[in-house]
Structure 1
Amino acid sequence: MKNIAVIGYGVIGKRVADAISKQDDMKLSGVCDIISDWRIQNAVRKEYDIYAATPEAADNMKAEGITVKGNMQLLIEKSDLVVDCTPKKIAEQNVIIYKTQNIKFILQGGEKHETTNHSFSAENNYQSALNLEATRVVSCNTTSILRTLTTLKKAGLLEYARGTLLRRATDPWESHLGGIMNTMVPEREIPSHQGPDAKSVDPDLDVITSAVKVPETLSHMHYWNVKLKKNTTKEEVLKAFKTSSRIKLIRYDQGLVSNNTIKEMFLDMGRPWGDMYEVALWEDMLKIVGDELFYAYVVDNQAIVIPETIDAIRALTGIETDALKSITKTNISLGIN
């Protein structure tokens, strides 16, 4: 049983904390943040131990009636590993603390690969993360790229891949702050950062991405054009995708015609926050033309990295050395079929 700390209790942090609490081989030692509003108050309601990142934050929390167990230093001392879910650039500063305190840590995909020198995707490189001091769980979009392309690569089908990403403008809860309306914003550089990021996990991938920010917040959508290594059938491609337990094949003709209808399905399934941990890939939209494969899927930007993070905890702490066993255990705990 390993004690795991969560630093940063935002969109990802709260989900990671809940996921840790569902495991039987790790324990949530506490959550740490600077906020004292409804977000951290929900952590109190869940009876999580609360730690303050700064003295000022501690004072604000206490003023709101929150029992503060201590500071970040104390939380680190009672933990075996830290999952840092803080906003960009804050994690980079925290890394200095983690290294000084000689504690293992996991960063999120917004940080640079060079910060940890290892980037993680459970179905791709679990073994190389065993007992490391640190890793970085790649971003939501990069996770989806690795899941789908890895299945095709393992099946001997992938020559190269070219993808276009329609990226949500911001997280749903803060769309009143930084969202965009009545416009689309293309990323200036091609490739966009997701393709090179995928290569930080698997350098052998020949993948180029382009991205456009669109005025919605529910998810990302990807369109992919893959050059196949050999002539194949739609059935063989679907068989390859089915080897991943974290790709969910959906059908357009079943009414799943948009990201909001897919979100509604997962809400009806009883998932917390309607979270979709899987890549939702349209099997009836998938087409093969000659040696080219075309497909599209939806990515839940708030949820897809949660199971990856749990697996990364097991790999770094060494409590499970077998990738499939960890993935299966995580899937069962989170209700992934």
Structure 2
Amino acid sequence: MAGKIRVGVNGYGVIGKRVADAVRAQPDMRLVGVSDVAADWRTRALHRKGIPLFAATNEAHEHLATSQIPVEGRLQDLLESLDVVVDCTPKRIAAVNVPVYRQLGRKFIVQGGEKHGVTGHSFVAESNYESAVGLDATRVVSCNTTATVRTLTALKRAGLLRRARGTLMRRATDPWESHLGGIINTLVPEPEIPSHQGPDAQTVDPDLDVLTMAVKVPETIAHLHYWSVQLSRSAQKEEVLDAFRASPRIFLMPDSYGLAAINSVKELMADLGRPRGDLYEVALWSDMLRVEGDEVFYTYMVDNQAIVVPETIDAIRALAGREPSGPASIRATDEALEIWRNPLSPAAG
């Protein structure tokens, strides 16, 4: 087998720093370095972690040097040593970087803030991993779209899915930026129905009959989804739960766990030793799920900072062409990140 997949991360923010750590946890990958423009606490912490820093622009190189933050070189230097670059820069910046990646012949991944057309392929591992194997580029869809596709794919694979309608309560901003903005004492509905997550899910699986509505809420912990799904036939509750149990990245939470709200789920992840208290799974309340004939109603939590991290790792492996099997890649990623179907099971870990 060839050596480890050489990976670089461009943009060391909310997603970038998590992807960088996740790459370092994979036995078949090597993090060559990260690039950024900021000379703040994020990049100043890199030397303690032993992660090489590269300046994303010429201006940033001067700024970092002036700020006495050591850099290994510029983005171009980093790209010359990579197999795959993961672009985690803010929305619309990645699209500007793409011509550079293409010119150097580097495989690349962008995040869900970019349009599907930037890569022509959108990715959720449990739905379409195999279609990304060997491609030059893919787009890991947003946190809400990832959760939508994961759960609907579970129902689809069980032969239960007909159409889905969801209402999304979206956190107002990322927690580390809550001092800069957000909303207080109000709710802000997205201006259009469907909201963008439904059409975005169809870029991964065009066969999904899915419509979403969304509203911003004044909190920063996570998103909450409510779904009404018409099944292909009448079913029993346990049959629906079994479909969700078949997904390695859906965590079913019975009432007996006492996880009554999103803050308690995040606290559980911290107690389990997850980096930053990250929840990589869709956390679905199993006792709350209700089936009425051919309709099922359920709700789940989405960690906007973490859910796309394992997907990004799988996307790296797919583009590199080292693992043709989606389930095999998912198992490898989940083992390295300690993702279990039920993290509270005595068998977990």
Q: Which TM class, normalised by the smaller chain length?
A: over 0.9
Partner of 1:298: 301
TM-superposed deviation, 1:262: 0.8
Match in the other structure for 1:2: 5
- Corresponding position of 1:119: 122
In 2: Cα distance, 1:315 partner to 1:42 partner: 30
Give every structure 1 segment of 4 or more consecutive aligned residues whose post-TM-superposition deviation is greater than 4 Å: none
Q: In the alignment, which residue of structure 1 is the partner of 2:273?
A: 270
* Corresponding pairs, count: 337
Instruction: Report the alpha carbon displacement of residue 54 of structure 1 after superposing the two structures with TM.
Output: 1.8
Amino acid paired to 1:153? K
Q: Deviations over 1:22-60 (max 9, x none)?
A: 111111011000011100112221010110012221222
Query: Counterpart in 1 of 2:21?
Result: 18
- 1:238 equivalent to 2:241? Answer yes
Cα deviation per residue 1:158-215 (whole Å; 9 max; x = unaligned)?
A: 1100000000000000011121000000001100000000000100000000000000
Unmatched segments (≥5 aa) in structure 1: none
Q: Does 1:84 align with 2:52?
A: no
For 1:178, what is the secondary structure of its paired residue?
coil
Opposite residue 115 of structure 1, the aligned amino acid is V
Q: Counterpart of 1:169?
A: 172
Match of 1:52 among 52, 55, 58: 55
Correspondent of 1:102 among 97, 101, 105: 105
Match of 1:139 in 2: 142
**In structure 1, how many angstroms separate the alpha carbons of the residues matched to 2:11 and 2:223?**
23
Q: Which amino acid aligns with 1:75?
A: L
Is it true that 1:183 corresponds to 2:225 in the alignment?
Answer: no
Which of 220, 242, 250 does residue 223 from structure 2 map onto? Answer: 220
1:64 Cα deviation after fit: 3.1
Question: Distance in 2 between the 1:211 and 1:98 partners?
Answer: 34
CA–CA distance in structure 2, aligned partners of residues 254 and 129 of structure 1: 37
Partner Cα distance (1:42, 1:283) in 2: 40
Moved more, 160-169 or 61-70: 61-70
SS at match of 1:82: strand
CA distance in 1 between counterparts of 2:307 and 2:330 reads 13
Determine the structure 2 residue equivalent to 1:62: 65
What is the rounded CA distance, in whole Å, between the counterparts of 1:102 and 1:332 in structure 2?
31
**Matches of 1:66 and 1:176, distance apart in 2:** 25
Aligned-partner residue type, residue 205 of structure 1: L
Secondary structure (helix, strand or coil) at the match of 1:217 reads coil
In the aligned structure 2, how far is the partner of 1:74 from the partner of 1:24? Answer: 24
Alpha-carbon distance in 2 for matches of 1:252, 1:191: 32
CA distance in 2, matches of 1:92, 1:159: 35
Encode CA deviations 1:72-116: one digit per residue, 9 max, x unaligned: 011101111110000011111001111111111000001000110
Residue 280 of structure 1 pairs with residue 283 of structure 2: yes
Residue 205 of structure 1 corresponds to which residue in structure 2? 208
Q: Which moved more, 1:105-114 or 1:251-260?
A: 251-260
Hey, what's the Cα distance between the residues in 2 that align with 1:263 and 1:293?
26
Counterpart AA for 1:262 = V
Distance, in Å, in 1 between the alignment partners of 2:255 and 2:68 is 49
